Amino acid sequence: MPSLEDRIKKLAERSRFHVGEWWVQPDLGMIVRDGKEKKIPPRSMELLVELAEAAREEKSVNNADLLHKLWGRQMDRRALNKEITHHSNIVYRAVNTLRRDLDDDSRAPRYIKNIQHGYQLIAKVRFGDDYRRGIFQIASWTGRNPYVGLSAFDESHADVFHGRDQANVALLEAMRAQLNNDRRFLLMVGDSGCGKSSLLHAGALPWLRQEGGFDGLKSLSTAYCDLSAMDDGDAQTHIAKALKTWQLRGRDVFAPPADELAKAIVGQAEMATAAIARALSCANIHPDDQQQAHLLLTVDHAETLVTSQRIDDAGRQLASRLLEALCDCPRVMVVMIARVDYYPKLAASVPIVATRGSGSGYLYVPPPTEGEIAMMVRAPAALGGLVFEQNANDQSLLDDVLCKAAIAKPDALPLLQHVLYSLYEECKEQRELTFEAYRRIGGLTGAIAQRADAVYAEQSEAAQASLNHVLSLLIVVDPDNGNVSARRVLKSELTGEGARQLVEAFIRARLFVSSLDEGLPAFNVAHEALLRQWQRADDWAEENYRQLQALARFQRAADHWRKEKRDDHLLNDGQPLIEAQEAAGYFGDRLEPHHRAFLNASGRLSQRKRRLRIGAVVALAVLTFASLGFGAQTIRSNSKLAQSNRDVGRMSAFTLGNLATKLQQKGDLNLLEESVNEVIRLYEKKPASDLSTEDMINFARALRILGAVSSLKSEDKNSKQFLARANGIISLVLSAQPDSQEAIFELGQIAFWQGQIARNNKKAKKSYFKWKRYHRVSNRLVRVAPKNTDWQKELSYALSNLGTLERERGNDQAALRLFSASVRTKIRVLEHAPEDNDLRKDMIDTASSISSVLESIGEIDTAAKNFQLQTTALSLLVDRHREKKDWEFTLTNMLQFTAKTAVAQGDLEKAKQAITDCINRLTELTWYESDNQKWRRTLAIAHMEAAEIHRMRNELQDAKHQLLEAEKASRILQPKSERLPGNRRTHFYITALLANADDDAATPSLLDQSIHNLQQLHEAHRSDLDFAVSYTKALLLRGNRRASRNEHEAAERDWTLAIETLKPFVEAQKNYYVLDPWVRAHILLGKKSEIAQHLLFLDNIGYQNQDYLRAIALK
Q: Report pLDDT digits (tens) over 517-536.
A: 666 778 888 777 778 778 78
Question: Which 3 state secondary structure label does DSSP give 198?
Answer: helix
> What φ, ψ does residue 211 adopt, rounded to 5°?
-60, 125
Q: Binning pLDDT at 50, 70 and 90, where does residue 1032 land? A: very high
Residues 555-596: pLDDT tens digits?
777 777 877 777 666 766 656 676 677 667 667 767 778 888
Residues 175-208: pLDDT tens digits?
999 999 999 999 999 877 778 888 999 989 988 8
Range with the lowest mean pLDDT among 17-26, 385-394, 641-650, 884-893?
641-650
Q: How does the average pLDDT of the chain come out, rounded?
A: 79
| Cα–Cα distance for residue pair 668/170, rounded to 1 Å | 31
> What φ, ψ does residue 190 adopt, rounded to 5°?
-175, 170
Range with the lowest mean pLDDT among 517-521, 590-594, 846-850, 945-949?
517-521
The amino acid occupying position 628 is L
Does the pLDDT of residue 134 top 90, yes or no? Answer: no
| Cα–Cα distance for residue pair 177/448, rounded to 1 Å | 40
Q: Binning pLDDT at 50, 70 and 90, where does residue 844 land? A: confident
Residues 228-276: pLDDT tens digits?
877 677 899 999 999 999 998 888 889 888 778 888 888 776 788 888 8
Q: Binning pLDDT at 50, 70 and 90, where does residue 1031 land? A: very high
Q: Binning pLDDT at 50, 70 and 90, where does residue 1002 land? A: very low
Residues 590-634: pLDDT tens digits?
777 888 888 778 777 766 665 554 454 444 433 333 433 333 343
Q: What share of the chain is helix, strand, coil (3-state, %, to 5)?
A: 70, 10, 25
Assign domain 368-441 to its CATH architecture.
Orthogonal Bundle (1.10)
Helix axes 497-508, 467-474, angle to 10 degrees: 70
Q: How far are the Cα atoms of 48, 78, 104 from residue 66, in angstroms, in the given order?
A: 11, 19, 20
Reply yes or no on domain 164-367 having CATH 1.10.167.10.
no
| Cα–Cα distance for residue pair 916/187, rounded to 1 Å | 42
**CB-count burial class (<10 Å; 0-12, 13-18, 19+) for 871:** buried
| Cα–Cα distance for residue pair 9/193, rounded to 1 Å | 34
Assign domain 4-127 to its CATH architecture.
Orthogonal Bundle (1.10)
Does the pLDDT of residue 337 top 90, yes or no? Answer: yes
Residues 864-913: pLDDT tens digits?
888 888 888 888 888 877 778 888 888 898 899 899 999 999 999 999 99
Q: Give the mean pLDDT of 131-155.
A: 68
**506 contacts 536 by C-beta, under 8 angstroms:** no
Residues 47-95: pLDDT tens digits?
888 888 888 777 888 776 777 666 654 443 333 344 444 444 677 888 8
**In the 8-state DSSP scheme, what is residue 280?**
H
Does the pLDDT of residue 1108 top 50, yes or no? Answer: yes
pLDDT at residue 653, as a whole number: 52
How large a percentage of the chain has pLDDT more than 70? 83
Quote the distance between the C-alpha of residue 565 and its chain's center.
42
Residues 661-684: pLDDT tens digits?
544 544 556 777 777 777 777 777
Name the pairing type of β-strands 247-248 and 251-252.
antiparallel
| Cα–Cα distance for residue pair 981/527, rounded to 1 Å | 26
Residues 199-234: pLDDT tens digits?
999 989 988 888 778 878 889 999 999 988 776 778
The count of other CB atoms within 10 Å of the CB of residue 126 is 12
Q: Binning pLDDT at 50, 70 and 90, where does residue 1020 land? A: confident
| Cα–Cα distance for residue pair 37/35, rounded to 1 Å | 6
pLDDT at residue 974, as a whole number: 55
pLDDT at residue 561, as a whole number: 81
pLDDT at residue 909, as a whole number: 94
Question: Which 3 state secondary structure label does DSSP give 576?
Answer: helix
pLDDT at residue 68, as a whole number: 66
**In the 8-state DSSP scheme, what is residue 807?**
H
Predicted TM-score of the model (pTM):
0.47
Nearest to 743 by CA among 768, 777, 706: 777
Nearest to 285 by CA among 331, 332, 237, 338: 331
| Cα–Cα distance for residue pair 238/262, rounded to 1 Å | 9
Does the pLDDT of residue 854 top 90, yes or no? Answer: no
Q: Which helix (H) or strand (E) holds 864?
A: helix 860-880
Write down the CATH number for the domain with range 447-543: 1.10.10
Does the pLDDT of residue 344 top 60, yes or no? Answer: yes
